[in-house]
């Protein structure tokens, strides 16, 4: 003989309990029949799951909608996110990347101020780790995921993990195809950097340039690489079209040490008197390029611009001996508040744009002081 379930065993005592309120119990049963905040149920499905009579279920549903415990869209009902503390998941690029750390700090402050629960993971600039973190976010049952990771080839995998779980996903800084994007317009940021490099050549070298080095990160994908396209366009706007053999694409991997090695090898092939413009794909690449120049003997005519605006590159700009002449700042300190304002309508089921471009700004050596 099968044993009765705890709920069934408790029924007789509940009927004798003078403090038992049946309508409250039915209301709680109705709320509990939703498996998650993303699940939508019709009145008929609620009746089947709870056993509550049709008329009573309808009246309870209506009351809960009026009191914002449920939301209604057509014939479907959902648990209201406004009645629970919203939980965001943030998988950050790396704790070793200054821009990423500053964005996380900004987001943590904004989440605390808004009463949003924020759970953070470190992707550690690793594709497999980023996939595992996405799976962990789903297991954590976050209401919305924010993804900052480098590798284009795993972006569809990560996007699919969240799509199957019904969790909205925002890709940060590095766009993921098929997701909502929050970050800079990479092409326009590159254009700003290219104009700054060209103006330096005009003001200091009479517009004469022997080589342009683009320290790139191919694994980051085509959208991020559009910064390099923008750099070339900005140079052309000021200096006219440069010969193709003057443009050199080097893989710095977005890493300081790798970028230093790549530029050091390149500089050994150039005359010491060569006038060279360098655009690093991020701050780390620009700082690695500056390290390479500092390690070379003799004076060099080299100008470097980076992307991001971390405290490290701002300090480099203040050094008159540094070859860094500017950085396109992404305003990491603004990300937290703007990102929450962008994300909340999405997680609350309200209409929201498919992307948001964060303003960028060139910080030159003069303005960094």
- Domain coordinates of the chain in residue numbers? 6-82, 85-184+333-357, 186-329
Return the half-sphere exposure (C-beta side, CA atoms, 13 A cut-off) of residue 66: 6
Q: Residue 295 has what pLDDT?
A: 92
- What topology does CATH give the domain 85-184+333-357? Rossmann fold (3.40.50)
Residue numbers of the chain with a pLDDT score lower than 70? 1-17, 81-84, 348, 350-352
As beta bridge partners, residue 119 has 89
Q: Which residues pair with 129 in a beta bridge?
A: none
Quote the CA–CA distance of 288 and 284 in Å, as a whole number: 6
Strands 144-147 and 87-92: parallel
What global pTM score does this model have? 0.74
- Which SS3 state, helix, strand or coil, does residue 87 take? strand
Class of the domain covering 6-82: mainly alpha
Q: What's the rounded Cα separation, in Å, for the pair 69 and 71?
A: 7
CA-based R_g, the chain, Å: 27
Residue 223 has a pLDDT of 76
Contact 161, 132 (CB under 8 A): no
Residue 366 belongs to what H/E stretch? helix 365-368
User: Token pair of 177, please?
Assistant: 């195809």
Q: How far apart are CA 147 and CA 155, in angstroms?
A: 9
Rounded to an integer, what distance in angstroms lies between the CA atom of residue 137 and that of residue 151? 18
Do residues 178 and 202 lie in contact, with contact meaning Cβ atoms separated by under 8 Å? Answer: no
> Are the beta carbons of 327 and 313 closer than 8 angstroms?
yes
| pLDDT for the residue numbered 37 | 72
Are 298 and 272 within 8 A, CB to CB?
yes
Sequence-distant (6+) residues with CB within 8 A of 368 are 314, 317, 318
Distance CA 78, CA 61 (A): 10
Closest CA to 228 of 283, 189, 199: 189
**pLDDT for res 171:** 93
Give per-residue pLDDT as tens, 185-217.
Answer: 999 999 999 999 999 999 999 999 999 999 999
Q: Which residues 6+ apart lie within 8 Å of 194 measured at CB? A: 230, 231, 232, 233, 234, 235, 236, 237, 238, 279
Walk across the sheet containing 211-216 and list its strands.
247-251, 211-216, 275-280, 301-308, 324-329, 361-364
CATH of domain 186-329: 3.40.50.2300
Angle at CA of residue 146, ends 309 and 183, nearest 5°: 35
Comparing 85-184+333-357 with 186-329, is the CATH topology the same?
yes
Q: Could you tell me the sign of the dihedral formed by the alpha carbons of 308, 309, 314, 317, in that order?
A: positive
Q: What is the spatial distance between Cα 154 and Cα 128, in angstroms, rounded to a whole number?
A: 8
Report helix, strand or coil for 52.
Answer: coil
């Amino acid at each position: 003989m099968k044993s009765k379930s705890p709920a069934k065993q408790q029924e007789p005592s509940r009927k004798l309990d003078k403090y038992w309120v049946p309508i409250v119990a039915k209301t709680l049963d109705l709320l509990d029949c939703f498996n998650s905040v993303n699940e939508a149920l019709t009145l008929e499905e609620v009746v089947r799951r709870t056993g509550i009579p049709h008329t009573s279920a309808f009246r309870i549903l209506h009351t809960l909608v009026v009191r914002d415990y449920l939301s209604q869209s057509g014939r479907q009902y959902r648990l209201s996110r406004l009645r629970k503390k919203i939980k965001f998941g943030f998988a950050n690029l790396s704790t070793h990347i200054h821009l990423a750390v500053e964005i996380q700090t900004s987001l943590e402050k904004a989440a605390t101020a808004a009463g949003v629960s924020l759970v953070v993971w470190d992707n550690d600039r690793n594709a497999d780790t980023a996939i595992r973190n996405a799976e962990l976010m789903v297991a954590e049952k976050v209401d919305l995921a924010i993804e900052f990771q480098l590798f284009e080839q795993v972006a569809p995998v990560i996007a699919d993990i969240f799509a199957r779980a019904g969790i909205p996903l925002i890709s940060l800084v590095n766009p993921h195809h098929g997701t909502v994007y929050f970050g800079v317009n990479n092409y326009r940021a590159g254009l700003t950097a290219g104009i700054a490099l060209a103006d330096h050549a005009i003001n200091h070298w009479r517009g004469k340039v022997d080589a342009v080095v683009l320290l790139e990160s191919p694994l980051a994908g085509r959208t991020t690489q559009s910064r390099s396209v923008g750099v070339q366009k900005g140079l052309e706007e000021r200096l006219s079209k440069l010969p193709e053999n003057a443009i050199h694409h080097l893989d710095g991997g977005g890493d300081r040490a790798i970028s230093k090695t790549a530029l050091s090898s390149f500089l050994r092939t150039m005359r010491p008197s060569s006038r060279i413009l360098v655009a690093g794909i991020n701050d780390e690449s620009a700082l690695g390029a500056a390290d390479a120049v500092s390690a070379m003997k003799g004076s060099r005519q080299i100008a470097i611009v980076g992307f991001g605006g971390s405290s490290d590159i701002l300090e480099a700009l203040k050094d008159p001996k540094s070859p860094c002449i500017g950085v396109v700042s992404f305003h990491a300190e603004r990300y937290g508040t703007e990102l929450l304002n962008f994300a909340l309508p999405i997680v609350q089921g309200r209409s929201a744009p498919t992307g948001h471009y964060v303003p960028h700004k060139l910080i030159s050596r003069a303005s960094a002081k």
